[in-house]
Amino acid sequence: MTLLRSLVVLGVTLLTGAAQAEILRIGVTPGPHAQIMEAVKPVAAAKGLDLIITEFSDYVVPNEALNAGELDANSFQNQPYLDNQVADRGYKIESVAPTVNFPLGIYSKTYKSWAEVPDGATIAIQNDPTNGGRALLLLQDRGVITLRAGVGFKPSPADVIGNPKKLRFIELDAAQTPRSLDDVAAAAINTNYAVSAGLDPTKDPILKEEAKGPYVNVIAIRSADKDRPGIKTLIEAYHSPQVKAFVVEKFKGAVLPAW
């Protein structure tokens, strides 16, 4: 084989290999989800999978984009939230793998402990049923309020039947809850938004969920793609020892691997 022919064969081989690399478009929210997916990216690349990561500033658009085919997967939500979105909007999407757990916290700029929060205080919670309900369930677990029996994972302020401190609840978009801290006594803030706002989820909450619970986050895909090879590769890359080590080292217990 001549040198020229060898070079041509090598070039064709390289081009063919490059063409075989599968591309997945992944939606995430800013903060830990985006940071973790950036850590997944080189692991996936070593397995022949190219990830294109897009950040979304809210919890609604990533599922809309996934269902519409604008994304191949997303990684930002817990299972109860996904279940609620599918039930309410009829999306043909489903979870395929657990990712991490973000224990929810109640934060305050004014008070150093929950005991300092006065009667009649205003508390901001998220306005989507899953996360807002999660905040109310946390308050019930800590003996602050009592919820109507049988409310499941999606109680609303209307389900509060016991409220000794006469707390007032305002509902805000989850991404806006950190900004409300100047105006309310306390706010329920999801960990990814807390981190983005410069809060420390391990030290700053005045109330906090237990580490284990039903709110483990997931990778979601369109149901029709569940057997797609690239999805399996994505899961393998996410569940790799390298990514677990990154989560443990980067977040120091504020975000917990769930696999």
Across the range 229-253, mean pLDDT stands at 96
Is the pLDDT score of 233 beyond 80? yes
The whole-chain average pLDDT of the chain stands at 92
- Judge whether residue 57 has pLDDT over 80: yes
pTM above 0.85, yes or no: no
pLDDT at 153: 87
In one-letter notation, the amino acid at residue 142 is R
Under 8 Å CB-to-CB from 45, ≥6 apart: which residues?
A: 51
Give the homologous superfamily in CATH for domain 3-102+214-257.
Answer: Periplasmic binding protein-like II (3.40.190.10)
Check if 3-102+214-257 and 105-208 are the same fold.
yes
The separation between CA 215 and the C-alpha centre of its own chain, rounded to angstroms, equals 9
Q: Where are the domains of the chain?
A: 3-102+214-257, 105-208
pLDDT digit string, tens, across residues 171-196: 999 999 999 999 999 999 998 899 88
Q: What is the pLDDT of residue 19?
A: 54
CATH class of 105-208: alpha beta
Section 227-245 average pLDDT: 97
Q: What is the pLDDT of residue 7?
A: 44
Q: Does residue 11 register a pLDDT over 90?
A: no
Interhelix angle 241-251/32-46, nearest 10 degrees: 150
